[in-house]
Amino acid sequence: MLRTGMAMVRGRWAGFAGAFVALCLGVALISMTALIQMSASPQVPGRYAGTPVLVRTPVIEQAEGGFLQDRPWSPETAAALAGRLRGIPGVTAVVPDRPFYAQAVAGGRPVPGDVRGYGWSSTALAPYRLVSGKAPARDGEVVLDRALGLAPGSPVTLLTAAGPVPYTVTGTLDAPGFHVTDAAAARLSGGVRVIGLVTAPDADPARVESAARAIVGGAGEVLSGDARAALESRADERTRWIGMQILAAMTAVSGFVSVFVVASTFAFGVVQRRREFGLLRLVGATPRQVRRMVYGEALAVGSAASAAGAVLGAALAPAFGGLLVEAGIEPPGFSVRIEAWPPAAAFGAGLVVALLGVWSASRRAGRVRPMEALREAAADRRPMTPPRWIGGAVFTAAGTWLAVSAAGAGPDSATRALYAAMALILALTLLAPAIVPPVVRALSWPLTRGRGATGVLVREGMLAAVRRTASTTAPVLVTVGFAVLVTGMVQTMAGAVATGRTTAVQARAVVVPDGTPGLSDAVVAAVDGIATLPTTVYAEGMPPLEAVGVTPEALARSADLLRVVEGSLADRAGGDGVVVARWLADGHGWRPGTRLPLTFEDGRTETLPVTAVAADAPAAVLLPRDAVRSHDPSALTEEILTGAAVPGEILGGRVLTADAYARAERDEDDRLVWIFTLILVGMAVGYTGLAVANTMMMSTVDRAPDFRVLRMSGATPRQVLGTVAAESVIVAALGTALGAAVALPALLGVRSALAAGIGSAVELIVPWPVVLGAAGGCLVLTLAASVIPALAAVRRAR
């Protein structure tokens, strides 16, 4: 079977080139992503690398995609644990780790890069040593990274959560971060979550670990060796998780589209080779033998493509891993390890994909009757069958209804819009043979007005093979439709969220971070507006909860945005009550008057009354801003919504108008979501573009006899190539128009739903550069895949 398949592939290599390329790229992507996923294991943080044994707080189970910090020890518990751990033989120091926000300022602007500060004793947890100067001894002194270029004795301004603070450099390290006295770090940081055990050179780490476990018990977790990688920062863990989601989606898309392209290649080939299969049946071949031959072709193509793809993926994995780090999808320091099993698994997956893709085509080939050998005409006798009419009408009605109903679907509008686009894509694909003739006549009309015969050849050729034209149009339709729908939906929804927030509080401008992870209290004090202060709180028996601190004045101005369903915001006038989100209140039976014991970032617990339940709270719990600040000295404000004039110079912040804010990336999540969107769109465009090129190339190669007839009839090579190029342009234009027609109704439904939800007009944002790039790419591929084979055929016909 494989030998026969290889012989057939050698004889018709052009017809299998598209399947080979698609499968090779799919296997390469699977091999590459498998290697990256295997390599994406947590690493021991560099600042803990010098400590053999570490103790951390108990881990709290969180939902998928949750990366909040675990509950810190209370100050009393941390002090008691540290005291007992100091008594372990071989332990020379016990260091509670206290990180906080700090960032150097140079030239009136924050210096990008290091944004973390630590107590000086934390340097004992890592292999860090002073390069110059001495350790900080009093408040206002700091040791920092020598890469900043500041010598001991130099003044430096550090931006903290409170605002800019002057410091004096006392020393430099060959390591990131800012190190102040332990007393200063205790005031600037929250609670303690990690305690490091510094041991003597001759101490046995295993004995120290065992003694620490006996002391800590259920109050924490003791880590040593590679297990210390569990202390990877939540930010790096979250980045790694997002990267895994993107890689998994890329693998799924590549596998699905590879099956699609392989299946379409062989299905199109079966249609073109019906006479060939009929001849085989005429000379005695059984349906089973025909199917085996088609499977042999798929196995031959699959083996070669999978082997090439596995090697290509392994070669590209290190470079792609570096790109992921630069894009922020993998944490700094990530590198790809090359092992044998991921490429081998990708090779096996490629063979499975090839055989799955050819299953339907092989059954169709086996059903070809011997009388098909007598067919010579290539013209379509009946391009539209009753099932196509019925299916097209049903999917058109369903897609139209879904697009219209999306306007009133609220939170489900995006899902309905996606279903609407899918239904309309299926409808237009089924109805394409009926749509093509009038559109072809209209688009080719300018060509037929001239003196030459090119326009007539274009028109008649496309009308004689309507199904071929429809088949080459469908991938362009899917490509452009997908690009318009997905990118437009992401951008429009992001803009609507921002518009809703600014409209609800009548904000004319928004202050957002600029070169910093957040805004300091000094900026908040200088701007009259609504500024929430994010933090994390902990309730007994529950995962960590996102919370924000807000002043009573800001809470009152945000009443329309919150939509209170129980209680009253006026009850917060005393300043000690909390507002909880409805989903949280309903899940735990919390109602106004319930008193909640909440543990804060410093490990201390307060009991606060619930004063209101809000349907659209920006976080699970809304707390008094002063309470958040008193328990979380390192928290930073994410943005300030203001309707007043804003000072011209803002350290670590910039001012956006409400409209500009609606279009801007507000945080790292938005940036990563947009990267994710572009990757998926790029993959879809690439693969469907490959389908366009593959179908066009196969159809053009199959028309070589037609080109010879044209040449013998007196057509010049230029006329033949002009005919092919004009057909390709019409196919690309038709597919682009139909793709936009599919996506725009769905997007309009989403926009209407978003406008109704926020009570304000929402701008339909379509990133036209992305869309035009997709359409232009389809046009280039279509032209290249048709004109190049046609040129070769014309040269042979001389």
Quote the tokens at residue 29.
């992507």
* Least confident piece of the model among 26-40, 196-210, 253-267, 351-365: 253-267
pLDDT band at 427 (very low <50, low <70, confident <90, very high): confident
Tell me what the mean pLDDT of segment 464-485 comes to.
73
Pairwise pLDDT comparison (374 vs 186), residue with the higher score: 186
> What is the spatial distance between Cα 396 and Cα 425, in angstroms, rounded to a whole number?
9
Rounded to an integer, what distance in angstroms lies between the CA atom of residue 169 and that of residue 575?
40
The answer to whether residues 244 and 672 touch, using CB atoms and an 8 Å cutoff, is no
Tens digits of per-residue pLDDT, 299-345?
Answer: 888 888 889 989 988 888 888 877 777 766 676 667 788 888 888 98
DSSP state of 229: G
Pairing of strands 621-624, 545-550: parallel
Is residue 12 pLDDT above 60, yes or no? no
**Higher local confidence (pLDDT), 414 or 722:** 722
Angle among Cα 49, 54, 58 to the nearest 5 degrees reads: 130
Residues whose CB falls within 8 Å of the CB of residue 584, separated by 6 or more in sequence, listed in order: 545, 590, 620, 621
Average pLDDT over residues 385-412: 74
Question: Which range is least confidently modeled, 507-516, 623-632, 788-797?
Answer: 788-797
Angle in degrees, CA 620, 622, 628, rounded to 5: 115
pLDDT at 354 over 90: no
Ordered DSSP codes for 332-374: TT--PPP-SHHHHHHHHHHHHHHHHHHHHHHHHHHT--GGGGG
Band of residue 142 on the pLDDT scale cut at 50, 70, 90: very high
- Which residue, 114, 409, 82, is CA-closest to 215? 82
Of the two residues 264 and 765, the one the predictor is more confident about is 765
pLDDT at 153: 93
Sign of the Cα pseudo-torsion (421, 426, 432, 435, in order)? negative
Strand ranges (DSSP E) for 78-229?
91-96, 100-101, 103-106, 109-110, 116-119, 130-133, 141-145, 155-159, 164-173, 178-180, 194-199, 221-224
Instruction: In whole angstroms, give the CA distance from residue 399 to residue 443.
Output: 27
Cβ neighbours of residue 271 under 8 Å, at least 6 residues apart? none
Q: Which of 243-247, 640-644, 714-718 has the highest mean pLDDT?
A: 640-644
In the predicted structure, residue 449 carries a pLDDT above the cut 90: no
| Alpha carbon separation from 506 to 80, 501, 658 (Å, rounded) | 51, 8, 9
pLDDT band, residue 501 (cuts 50/70/90): low
Q: pLDDT per residue over 364-385, tens digit each?
A: 666 667 665 555 444 455 566 6
pLDDT of residue 2: 47
pLDDT at 573 (0 to 100) = 46
| Confidence band of 452 (pLDDT split at 50, 70, 90) | low
**Token pair belonging to 231:** 């202390």
Looking at residue 265, its pLDDT comes to: 62
Give the integer Cα–Cα distance in Å for 399 and 397: 6
- 351, 26 Cβ separation under 8 angstroms: no
Q: Is the pLDDT of residue 557 over 90?
A: no
Q: Is the pLDDT of residue 409 over 70?
A: no
Q: What's the chain's average pLDDT?
A: 79
- What pLDDT score was predicted for residue 635? 94
Say if CB 367 and CB 287 are below 8 A apart.
yes
Residues 6+ apart with CB under 8 A from 485: 417, 418, 421, 742, 743, 746, 747
Whether 85 contacts 265, CB under 8 Å: no
Contacts of 195 (CB under 8 A, 6+ apart): 54, 55, 56, 78, 81, 82, 85, 94, 95, 96, 97, 220
Q: Please state the rounded mean pLDDT for residues 498-527.
A: 79
Residue 233 half-sphere exposure, CB side, CA atoms within 13 Å?
12
Distance CA 577, CA 598 (A): 12
pLDDT at 258 (0 to 100): 61
Per-domain residue ranges of the chain: 1-43+233-376, 46-232, 509-662
Q: b/e for 570-596, b at 16 or more Cβ within 10 A? A: eebeeeebbbbbbebbeeeebebebeb
Residue 107 backbone zone (phi > 0: left; psi -120 to 50: alpha; other: beta): left
Provide the angle, in degrees to the nearest 10, between the axes of the packed helices 466-504 and 668-702. Answer: 170
Residue 213 in tokens: 């476990």
- pLDDT value at position 377? 47
Contact indicator for 15, 698 with CB cutoff of 8 Å: yes
pLDDT grade for 602, boundaries at 50, 70 and 90: very high
Which phi-psi region, left, alpha or beta, contains residue 377 (left: φ > 0; alpha: ψ -120 to 50)? beta
Is residue 194 predicted with pLDDT exceeding 80?
A: yes
**Residue 480: φ, ψ to 5°:** -70, -40
Specify burial of residue 65 (Cβ count, 10 A radius: 0-12, 13-18, 19+).
exposed
In this prediction, residues 77-89 reach a mean pLDDT of: 92
Give, in degrees to the nearest 5, the angle at Cα 532 between 528 and 534.
150
Across the range 550-560, mean pLDDT stands at 81
Binned at pLDDT 50, 70 and 90, residue 435 comes out as confident
Q: What three-state secondary structure class fits 208?
A: helix
Q: Per residue in 17-73, pLDDT tens?
A: 667 777 787 788 788 888 887 777 777 888 898 899 999 999 888 776 677 888 999
Q: What is the torsion angle, in degrees rounded to the nearest 10, for the CA atoms of residue 484, residue 485, residue 489 and residue 491?
A: -20
Residue 167 pLDDT class (50, 70, 90 cuts): very high
Residue bearing the bigger pLDDT, 730 or 763: 730
- Measured CA to CA, the distance from residue 626 to residue 623 in angstroms comes to 9
One-letter identity of residue 527: V
At 450, the pLDDT band (50, 70, 90 cuts) reads: low
CB 336 within 8 A of CB 321: yes
Closest CA to 462 of 442, 440, 443: 440
- Nearest-CA neighbor of 196 among 172, 228, 171? 228
- Tell me how far apart the alpha carbons of residues 251 and 195 are, in angstroms, rounded to a whole number: 40
Please tell me the total number of residues recorded for the chain in this structure. Answer: 798
% of residues, the chain, pLDDT over 90: 25
> In terms of pTM, does the model score above 0.75?
no
Looking at residue 386, what is its pLDDT? 77
Q: Is the pLDDT of residue 788 over 50?
A: yes
**Distance (Å, whole) CA 580 – CA 7:** 70
